Amino acid sequence: MYNCVKNTTDNTLLSTSIRLSVLVKKTSITLDVHQYYQQMQSNGIIMAYKGAASGDLLNSIIAIAQTKLNEVEQKSVIRRRVFTILVEILQNIQNHFDYISAEEIREDVAIMFIMAKTEDGYYKLISGNYVATEDVPSLKKRIDYVNALSADDLKAMYRDRLDNGQISPKGGAGLGIIEIARKSSNKLDYEFRIINDKFSFFSLTVKVAAS
């Protein structure tokens, strides 16, 4: 039985991804690949990744995501905004992965990442990764604080942290989260699922207007 700590979130895409992952695991021999493809298409999934979080792999994800954005988005300002947020998200993931011992979390299932474009005119960047359970209260507090700030307040805080070098040691909810919120111009949706006393699974959904 998992414990959840979350804000009001519509994680339809994340839920769909989890359902599909379970489907593949349970019916790996008889999987209807076309149905799987259609489910991804109907949810506007541009790319998805589940696996290790090494620096080389994350760099590859970034490169693929940039290529995909060039294919699907004509407006350069939107491409840059989405790409900047994507990089910040993956850097935060890398920071947490480096902090957590690889011996305690299976590296091959360490993270997940989805980039999608929804019918209501938004890009959705969805990530999931393990964090230390002891860090959950402080991470939640920081995200909630950032979510409560106005655009001007976010801009001022970002500049202040740059000037004073106030960056979180793990990078999980320091300058990166501020930049993500600032660039997206939307509240950050999140959930912490407590796995045990050592680790929790942190999911983050960021919406970016495609117009």
* pLDDT value of residue 111: 84
Kindly state the tokens that stand for 110.
């360490």
Q: How many domains does the chain have?
A: 1
- C-beta atoms surrounding 173 within 10 Å: 25
Instruction: Give the span between the Cα atoms of 164 and 151, in whole angstroms.
Output: 20
**pLDDT means per 10 residues in the chain (211 residues)?**
58 48 49 77 87 81 92 93 93 71 56 90 92 90 94 89 64 72 94 90 94 85
Instruction: Write out the two tokens for 14.
Output: 């994340």
The confidence score (pLDDT) of residue 164 equals: 75
pLDDT of residue 50: 86
Q: In this predicted structure, what is the pLDDT of residue 107?
A: 52
CATH code for the domain in which residue 75 is found: 3.30.565.10
> What pLDDT does 91 receive?
86
Residue 170 has phi, psi (to 5 degrees) of -100, -10
At 196 the pLDDT is 87
pLDDT at site 19? 46
Q: What is the pLDDT of residue 158?
A: 85
Grouping H, G, I as helix, E, B as strand and the rest as coil, residue 28 is coil
What angle, 0 to 180 degrees and rounded to 10, lies between the N-to-C axes of helices 12-26 and 33-42?
170
What stretch of H or E contains 39?
helix 33-42
Domain that holds residue 187: 3-209
CB-count burial class (<10 Å; 0-12, 13-18, 19+) for 132: middle
